[in-house]
Structure 1
């Protein structure tokens, strides 16, 4: 195994937090080692006092996958500046949550794998999603050795029966997965085209797919397409915003805020790195 020595500008990094905070599924930790499949290869990662010990991946690919190229000082400063401008002062609640989770990074995932994972995530907790994804990998993925399988291609999932995916705990999501897999397998340029679109156009395009609503679309844009302004709004984030920020939301309304209302507030309040701010808040939850 090789070791990547984290430079001083990147020394605030937590591999455990980054891989366990609900961004990615299918990775397992045994002892000190995380293992998963990235771009068809088995990858093993250990964080120690020297840095990241790794195998199955190049240093440049590791750096990108773990988001280690992100300028965290710039990101944090931008978030704090937008908070201060919006509310004319500091946000002590956010500062507290940030201190607990500031060592995480937003991963850069394969778009197809990320799309399937978050279709599978609907109305589930992290542990259940992980079981679901691992069953899909084990039963429909392609073996790459050592008991690991790479993610099934769209054409493979497209050929599955609903019962086969229900046997992987997909439940009502099974037909969504099959329909989306059929679309992607017959439109191979669809996901690459998303990278060329504006945030809103990309979100609208993704939501045409079966099983993809605004939250799944935002997750895919944030975790696979590096759209750091995307803010997935789940129950946890909705609760935080409604309890901590409702009095300062500038577009006050009677009744419940919509998903788009809360997403827009976060983008205005936290700025262009609102997706990172969301992760700092989300990662402090107990799973």
Structure 2
């Protein structure tokens, strides 16, 4: 395996936290080695303190994929500065605690198609079911690289599968979404290039044209596939955290029982600043995972 030694500016970094915090699917851990697909390649990665050992890609690809260019102390300082501005210098001890528990996380830079495919598959599911679903789709329709190892199905492959066959891969109501999205990407080959050139609001609207892509999936794709750090995916866990900890300081929302998706996401951008996506991931990573793992 090749090696990459992390410098001080590339720390903190925690491979296990990064791959287990809900931002990527289809990767599996065996011993201390993570293995999965990125940008049409099978990659293996392990971490031994400051040393990253890897195979299946070159250093430049790995460095970008793992988000190692991100300066975590600067990101944290930016978040704290915006919190202080919002609260008039009042400390947020709740967020500080969550950051200290999860500061080794990086936002991965995923392939846009693989990210989009994965998050359509992930809707309204627990971690185990998502893994089974994606595994079956890769096994049945992904290009075979070696014995027992397949890539994510390409749009052309997904567009050629009938709905009944897709449902056999545990996709359920998501089957026509996967088919429709694949067909759209096939007929609009410059779609991802277009998304990368748009502003965050316009890119989100464009993504939501796709079947099965609502606000949450669109924000996941923008954050994890396009480096839009202002994107804040709001699922039931983040909704509970924001409602419990911050509802009283959300402008005009004190006493409101149910906050809208946009209200929560807009608050996070105002409160945490341009790295609200990172802040969201710190909060998400420290949620109580016992219930969803037991399903």
Shift of 1:32: 1.0
The whole-number CA distance in structure 2 between the counterparts of 1:204 and 1:42 is 32
TM-score, normalising length from structure 2? 0.95
For 1:257 and 1:11, how far apart are their aligned partners in 2? 36
Mapping of residues 150-165 of structure 1, within 5 Å:
150-165=151-166
Contact kept, 8 Å, 2:78 with 2:275, in 1: the verdict is yes
Between the aligned partners of 1:36 and 1:145, the Cα distance in structure 2 is: 13
Q: Report the alpha carbon displacement of residue 11 of structure 1 after superposing the two structures with TM.
A: 2.6
Partner of 1:283: 285
Q: Distance in 2 between matches of 1:231 and 1:68?
A: 21
CA distance in 2, matches of 1:24, 1:164: 25
Q: How far apart in 2 are the matches of 1:118 and 1:189?
A: 20
Q: Does 1:121 align with 2:122?
A: yes
Alignment partner of 1:200 is 2:198: no
Instruction: Give the secondary-structure state (helix, strand or coil) at the position aligned to 1:262.
Output: helix
Contact 1:34 / 1:44 at 8 angstroms: preserved in 2?
Answer: yes
CA contact (8 A) 1:23 1:223 kept: yes
Q: Does 1:54 align with 2:54?
A: yes
Residues 72 and 50 of structure 1, relative CA distance in 2, 3 Å threshold: closer
2-structure distance, mates of 1:190, 1:131: 28
Length, aligned pairs only? 287
| Structure 1 consecutive aligned stretches of length 4 or more whose deviation exceeds 4 Å | none
1:47 shift after superposition: 0.5
Q: Which moved more, 1:31-40 or 1:80-89?
A: 31-40
* 1:33 is aligned to 2:33: yes
Contact 1:40 1:144 in 2 (8 A): no
2-structure distance, mates of 1:68, 1:233? 25
CA distance in 2, matches of 1:91, 1:160: 50
Aligned 8 A contact 1:111 1:224 in 2: yes
Aligned pairs (5 A) from 1:224-263? 224-252=225-253, 254-263=256-265
Alpha-carbon separation, structure 2, partners of 1:240 and 1:247: 13
CA distance in structure 2 between the partners assigned to 1:50 and 1:206 by the alignment? 37
Residue segments in structure 2 that go unaligned for 5+ positions in a row? none
Which shows bigger deviation, 106-115 or 37-46?
37-46
C-alpha distance in 1 between matches for 2:95 and 2:257: 25
